[in-house]
Chain A
Amino acid sequence: MTGASTPFLRVEGVRKSFFGVTVLHDVSFAVEAGKALGLVGENGSGKSTSMNILGGVIQPEAGSMFLGGEAYAPADPKQAAAAGVAFIHQELNLFHNLTVEENLFVDAFPRRGVLPLIDRRAIRASTEEVLAEVDLQVKPSTLVAKLSQGERQLVEIAKAVSRNARLIIFDEPTTSLTRPEVERLFAIIERLKQRGIAIIYISHALEDVISVCETITVLRDGHLAGTAPKDDLTLQQIIAMMVGRSIDTIYPQRLRSGGGDRIFSVSGLSQPGVAENVSFDIRQGEIVGLSGLMGSGRSELARMIFGLDPFRRGVITINGKPLNDPTPRSAMDAGIAFLTEDRRGEGLLMDFTVSENTVLASLRSVAGALGILDKRAISRVSLDMASAMRLSTDRVDDTQVKHLSGGNQQKVVIGKWLRRQPVLFILDEPTRGIDVGAKQEVYRIINGLVERGSAVLLISSEIEELMGLSDRILALSRGEMVGSFDSKPFDREAIMAAAAGVGKLEAAE
């Protein structure tokens, strides 16, 4: 293999914007056949956009791409697949109710002559061949449902191989794998490289990127932050390239109470496969940030505390009282409020009005005698909420929530909980998908919550947001608490390293 050969894939000066906001500024990178390129960057740095362009999901506005020396401009995912570009996503695209061999051929079964019958012998033979290729020792007739997550991923890789993929893009492939499965995956990737297949490897787990890839490209805010051979980069340098900017002044100041009593604690929370011995506590008036990668168990932890998911061991204490076997109802009664990650799916009823949504979590308090709802009380309460939250509308009885902007929807979600004066607010990605101005308002509201004496557990993928708001940041990795970071200024790189699963960094008390 020659080092100076022309790259198999060349991306040059690709630009893309959405609604006038440029998300990709003239990004260029290249991968050689038989080599792996690591693509890293924080959320929103442009990785997914780049991959969507490579996969034909969206088309760039400027720039050009070359695949195997020829111009490459896929108009849709099918063309990308036909050109030999395959994706292994975090969420696998397999049918659990079909067998391994059927999954490999589901969209193009070979037939027995002119009959519309599947040529079982042919698919068995070629499946056995590619399974050997990816070192997966299962029978081709095994149902995918019976395979482990790691084995399923190998099936997906086998699928790519069986279609003669020449470039395979791995997107966060290790998040739900056990360590031995990860090692096995890396061995397979090595083998794919030897076959001359080009690899793009995207991950937040930087150590994995370093061990798999020859070259690393860092994206930041849609710009190319740098490309270098991995031997020329240290982990710290990569993180510095990813971060590269200071915290903006968008985080409003708040009066710090210095922390009141410990009003909430979790100790020894465990659930097989999801959380292992998680313990932490939160004081009154304190914002505790929870940092971790996608799939680290952040949201699952919140769901367990709120009684949405079961856990096997552990004690949750709120206001000095244990919360045994929480259900959403008992958690709410104990004073926990939960803003889910998915506003549309879980937090708000989109077709209902602002008023209806406002009182939903506290219907009893607006019901008169006989439990009949008092419309005037509902309006009054909702108007109070609207002004407290500085909502964009005061027509609370007529405005359906789906007609509000993302930021205003988030205000309604928080506002409806405020009525119950929660002891603890769990906020899961409270600013996802809303613009910067609305974000700032949400930050102000969060500060308001703690100033009123609530405690906040803040979950966010944006490390800056956590650093800007939190009094303390906890890092979670693979369901384990791997670090607690205290006192400002936060050590951003240490937090990121911990969340990326790079060793276990001990907390500075």
Chain B
Amino acid sequence: MKIGSRALLLILQNAPYILFVVLLVVFGLMSDRFFAIANFRNIIIQAAPIAILAIGMTFVLLTAQIDLSVGGIMYLTATVLALYMTGAPWPVGLAAVIFMGGFIGALNGVVVTRLGVASFIVTLATLFILRGIAMYLSNTRTLMFGDEILTLNRATVLGIPSAIFAFLVVFAVAWVILHQTPFGRQVYAVGGDPEAARKAGLPVARIVFFCFVIAGICAGVGGFVSITQIGAVGPKYGDQIEFSAIAAAVLGGVSLFGGRGSVAGTVFGAILIKSVQNGLNIINADPYIYPLVTAAIIFLAVAIDGLRTRIIERLERRTIRPVSVE
């Protein structure tokens, strides 16, 4: 049984990669356009906003919390930018969304850590509040951005398209934070065993708080990258993107139960999700089937996570007497 569990675990842990290869083969067989280099570049450009969001989500998920408000943060920060900062140079706009995103994330973090309300509820509430404020401010109109923002989409840095560059920067920073700073390792500690973290004297509340701040900042930045691509912000902007972000993280191996996963996996998950949408697009699938397929993938991701956690628990069960060697 134990060996069977380990084999199953191995498959589950690599399920996203297996899925990815299968999808590549299927789409590749159905359309020769899918395998074009330009298409892969497109997929990564399209995946950039959601990957950035999902990277922020990873921090929150690692502490066994959840942030459902990222789509709202994205919508509100972009709306404020379109309404009040049309003439500002883009770096000012970027700084503004970073600040606003971080501030909203801090509000989430304070309510979760100080008032002890479940993050699921808190961020669900802030999601609706933020969307509500944005719709109120914009009268539910679709707002267009000027050339200052739009030209960014075509810009390149060192030959890399700006969206990909932004996403690489966020990824690199997040990776360094999680793996090379005391804070990052403590994030893992808190998520892995909150009780032990408390006993070890770690500032659990502060760590969780900063994860929400990071998720907010990433939501602002992801939204910013997204508006350079779309050029407009309307009531459907960022709608339900929180689920894609969570799905990307979970597909990439981040556990909803905290303590396990990495941003590299998350990025992979985001690219996987976008590949599916891109592939469906290329084979001219019925647009109404997109949500079904995306939902199926999310479901799969969560089911895999649950199964994986159960197996790991079984493998780590404490034994009373030595297990005889097989």
Contacts and interface: CB of A to CB of B under 8 A. Distances in A.
A286 interface: no
A274 B316 CA distance: 13
A98 B320 contact: no
B192 A118 contact: no
A63 B2 CA distance: 53
A83 to B, nearest CB: 15
A98 B192 contact: yes
B1 to A, nearest CB: 8
B185 A106 contact: yes
A451 interface: no
B316 A93 contact: no
Taking each of B186, B189, B201, B322, which has the highest tally of chain A beta carbons within 10 Å of its own beta carbon?
A: B322
Interface stretch (A224-232, A295-303, A426-434): A295-303
Contact of B192 (A78, A95, A107, A275): A95
A273 B320 contact: yes
A297 B321 contact: yes
Contacts of B316: 96, 145
Contact of A176 (B191, B196, B318): B318
B185 to A, nearest CB: 5
A480 B321 CA distance: 9
B320 A478 contact: yes
A107 B319 contact: no
A273 to B, nearest CB: 3
Nearest to B181: A116
Contact of A274 (B185, B186, B202, B321): B321
A498 B140 CA distance: 77
B320 A97 contact: no
B75 interface: no
A102 interface: yes
B321 A478 contact: yes
Contacts of B189: 95, 97-98, 102, 106
Interface string A247-284: 00000000000000000000000001111100000000
A276 B321 contact: yes
A84 to B, nearest CB: 16
A97 B261 CA distance: 10
B199 A116 contact: no
Contacts of B292: none
Interface string A132-155: 000000000000010001000000
B276 to A, nearest CB: 29
A97 B2 CA distance: 20
A149 B318 contact: yes
Interface in B162-210: 176, 180-183, 185-186, 188-189, 191-193, 196-197, 199-202
Interface residues of A, number: 36
Contacts of A415: none
A285 interface: no
Contacts of B197: 95
B321 A118 contact: no
Contacts of B321: 178, 273-276, 297, 478-480
Nearest to B185: A102
Contacts of B181: 116-118
Given A97-B260, A178-B322, A297-B320, A109 B182 contact: yes
A404 to B, nearest CB: 27
A296 B320 contact: yes
B188 A97 contact: yes
Given A106-B185, A118-B185, A145-B316, A96 B192 contact: yes
Nearest to B180: A117
B200 A106 contact: yes
Contacts of A98: 185, 188-189, 192
Contacts of A275: 320-321
B188 A95 contact: yes
A142 to B, nearest CB: 15
A274 B188 CA distance: 30
Taking each of B183, B193, B202, which has the highest tally of chain A beta carbons within 10 Å of its own beta carbon?
A: B193
Given A272-B324, A274-B319, A97 B259 contact: yes
Contacts of A276: 321
Interface in A61-98: 77-78, 93-98
B323 A272 contact: yes
Contacts of B185: 98, 102, 106, 109, 118
A32 B303 CA distance: 56
A380 interface: no
A322 to B, nearest CB: 21
B320 A176 contact: yes
A111 interface: yes
B180 A95 contact: no
Nearest to B203: A107
A94 B193 CA distance: 8
Nearest to A298: B320
Taking each of A106, A275, A297, which has the highest tally of chain B beta carbons within 10 Å of its own beta carbon?
A: A106
A176 B319 contact: yes
Interface in B296-326: 316-324
Contacts of A120: 180
A84 B180 CA distance: 29
B309 to A, nearest CB: 12
A179 B197 CA distance: 30
A78 B198 CA distance: 11
Contacts of A296: 320
Given A145-B316, A176-B318, A297-B320, A106 B186 contact: yes
A275 B319 CA distance: 9
A295 B259 CA distance: 27
10 contacts: A78-B201, A93-B196, A93-B200, A95-B196, A97-B259, A106-B202, A117-B180, A118-B181, A296-B320, A478-B321
Given A95-B193, A96-B316, 15 more contacts: A77-B199, A95-B197, A96-B192, A97-B191, A106-B189, A109-B182, A116-B181, A118-B180, A145-B316, A149-B318, A176-B320, A272-B324, A273-B321, A274-B321, A276-B321
The 4 A-B residue pairs whose C-beta atoms are closest, nearest first, are A273-B319, A178-B322, A109-B182, A97-B192
Interface of A: 77-78, 93-98, 102, 106-107, 109, 111, 116-118, 120, 145, 149, 175-176, 178-179, 272-276, 295-297, 300, 312, 478-480
